[in-house]
Structure 1
């Protein structure tokens, strides 16, 4: 259970006539131009900074959600996950009623160096919900698990062996599209942050100092340089 601090959003901005269209996201080709290193500026952010960013980004994200997914629940619940000992992290999930929840840990807020970084992270998590990534991941995991179970049975494995390959299949299915989903969320999140009045190109510079996952097989996140390029391209469009 999250220990929640819920922030009131500012009044909704008028969004009519300002459509956001889905933008195809592709991985950079091998040997793509290296991302230029630009120094991050600012200092550790506070809960006050976070509240200010939420007040500007939340109404924009909810407006984009209603525009792109009119049948979905677009009432974001933005919270602080203040359980002791949590590492820097932000994530999107759902409560028992199906309401989309975006959670930040205090450690992540303290790692951010300016409000542009906070706004990009918040917009990125909102984009995961708008793009339907959790449901797509669950569906892919279920498909992978079923295929693993079928293959295990055809191979004549015992019950324990079938369980093992079922779990492997579910893991492979869940991670099959995860890197692409992260880049999609970066692209849409960049445009949400920009509409809220922040600079996502400055915001994504957080990844210059963050641990780089590289391009691992079945990794959950793409290389940091790919994420920076994706944001730069999204804003350019």
Structure 2
């Protein structure tokens, strides 16, 4: 399962990355319990490459390798599963992985292996968050993407927009290939900011129902730089996300 997942990482990053803006540069070791000890190597039971072909850079969250991450995921998972089942999705068995590859940027993202939902967090991200509430909020955000069916919906958005642009170009005698590519980009941008805000809202609720403080968790956005041009970004401005989450929390 994990081998197939690893082979799709390029597509995953383009469709599922949720905290990919450039961080402020300030790191924090508050959640270092999520990070394997320096010099330690995961055993085959923790996800190292073994007979099943599991790539060594993706290790399951565990109380031995990533204790803080594991503890938070254990509280998030049953709440996420309940919301997932209420949404009628076919697979609500969440898997939480840590990407321990050297040189990986700070990021957290979601994907699917078939129908199975996967959440992956890179090691630099654990240094970036300030407290467990921020990590819990981000995990809630990622599982919310799955519950809200954002990846399949996003693919439909991209394909529909690309096809529409290509057909228009064909009728007008334009470059169909360029129009198809242009439409795919437009389709991705058209709804992705909306999806991020939807995931923020549901993620805040999941964090709250899991016993964390989503208001404290959402302060994560205050520590990240905005992208230069929000119009051309897949993510809303951080200040807007923080304000939207606070409005949602006020209604709990």
3-state SS of paired residue (1:60): helix
Gaps of 5+ in 2: 1-54
2:101 is matched with 83
Q: Whole-Å Cα distance in 1 between the matches of residues 232 and 205 of structure 2?
A: 27
Contact 2:142 2:199 in 1 (8 A): yes
Asked if 1:123 is matched to 2:140, the reply is yes
Displaced runs of 4 or more, over 4 A: none
Give TM-score scaled by structure 2 length: 0.73
Contact 2:61 2:69 in 1 (8 A): no
CA RMSD across the alignment: 1.8
In structure 2, relative to structure 1, the CA distance for the partners of 1:214 and 1:72 (3 Å cut) is farther
Aligned length: 196
2:193 is matched with 179
Deviations 1:127-168 (A, max 9, x none): 0011111111100100011011111212213xxx21111011
1:144 is matched with 161
Contact 2:188 2:234 in 1 (8 A): no
In structure 2, relative to structure 1, the CA distance for the partners of 1:177 and 1:49 (3 Å cut) is same
Asked if 1:7 is matched to 2:61, the reply is yes
Deviations 1:80-118 (A, max 9, x none): 1222211110011111x3211111000111111100000
Contact 1:47 1:109 in 2 (8 A): no
Give TM-score scaled by structure 1 length: 0.78
Gaps of 5+ in 1: 10-45
State the 1:3 CA deviation: 3.1
Contact 1:141 1:174 in 2 (8 A): yes
Q: Whole-Å Cα distance in 1 between the matches of residues 220 and 98 of structure 2?
A: 20
State the 1:214 CA deviation: 6.1
3-state SS of paired residue (1:94): strand
Select 2:70's aligned residue among 51, 63, 67: 51
3-state SS of paired residue (1:86): coil
Q: Whole-Å Cα distance in 2 between the matches of residues 179 and 206 of structure 1?
A: 17
Which protein is richer in helix relative to its size?
2
Select 1:191's aligned residue among 205, 228, 233: 205
In structure 2, relative to structure 1, the CA distance for the partners of 1:98 and 1:2 (3 Å cut) is farther
